[in-house]
Structure 1
């Protein structure tokens, strides 16, 4: 089974930077697993910035939903991020929280059956502003439940606060 290092925190808390540094400490050839679907130009700029932050030693794999189909045995893999991955699942399931959570858990369980190190980035949506509409509240619930699930299986959990890693587990 995979060794899981779960890194969570608010937006711009330093999660990705910390995760990237950790991956580079653990491997000379880390893998970046990008789960994002590019929705607009602003998001493309964010993706481009993340890409430019990584050196040539990185291999980038892109998979929006079916992460378990990738062969990652023996690798150090930075999964960035669970929030974007869940967004894709939620969108595919027409915003059905229960169906999305079941699919995400099943896919996650299959994903971690390989022997590799997973450095997993996710957002703590519940620590921010209370969502103003039903769809956003449903997604925040989905995110919170999936974060709890991944954290329960993780070997380590780190909460990023203003760029400072705080070890939780």
Structure 2
């Protein structure tokens, strides 16, 4: 299996599709979580997702250190499933980290990964222009990152209403 980028809207089925691809590739699955539980709803959501994956999955939390996590865990006997890049961009924004440098490090980590990496993200560019500077910056940074990741990996799937459509 090669690297894969799975993108789609909220509740499009992209995470389920990415999980199915990881589980059927024959390698040991590692879930790289970028989410942070800042409230009870998110804590419950994370617990549900963890239970849905099953005991064969190892989970590694990487809310900020995503490139380093990929470098440390991408081995030929594992498949990494990173879910999701838009939460990672949010975390970088909130921590006031330099996003272009982090994106450089991420694409380099993907290119150098010794095993397959599946990256999941939310398409954020199909809506209206946000009404505030922070939301516009988020949309722009996520869009730039998506373009870079799509250029870096050999396969890109857009998932809409549970149906994957191969873009690359």
- Unaligned stretches of 5+ residues in structure 2: none
Looking at structure 2, the residues matched to 104 and 77 of structure 1 have their Cα atoms a distance apart, in angstroms, of 18
Query: Counterpart of 1:127 in 2: which secondary structure?
Result: coil
- Unaligned stretches of 5+ residues in structure 1: none
Whether 1:73 and 2:75 are equivalent positions in the alignment is yes
> In the TM superposition, what whole-angstrom CA distance separates every residue of 1:91-114 from its partner, at most 9, and x where no partner exists?
1226xxxx3122222233135412
The aligned counterpart of 1:89 is 92
> In the TM superposition, what whole-angstrom CA distance separates every residue of 1:48-94 from its partner, at most 9, and x where no partner exists?
12111111111111111212332321111110011111111111226
Looking at structure 2, the residues matched to 80 and 168 of structure 1 have their Cα atoms a distance apart, in angstroms, of 19
Q: Number of aligned pairs?
A: 164
The aligned counterpart of 2:99 is 100
8 A contact 2:32–2:82 mirrored in 1 = yes
Looking at structure 1, the residues matched to 50 and 128 of structure 2 have their Cα atoms a distance apart, in angstroms, of 29
Q: How does 1:101-140 map to 2 (within 5 A)?
A: 101-140=100-139
8 A contact 1:65–1:88 mirrored in 2 = yes
Looking at structure 1, the residues matched to 109 and 20 of structure 2 have their Cα atoms a distance apart, in angstroms, of 26
Deviation of 1:128 after TM superposition, in Å, equals 2.8
Whether 1:167 and 2:161 are equivalent positions in the alignment is no
Q: How large is the RMSD of aligned CA atoms in angstroms?
A: 1.7
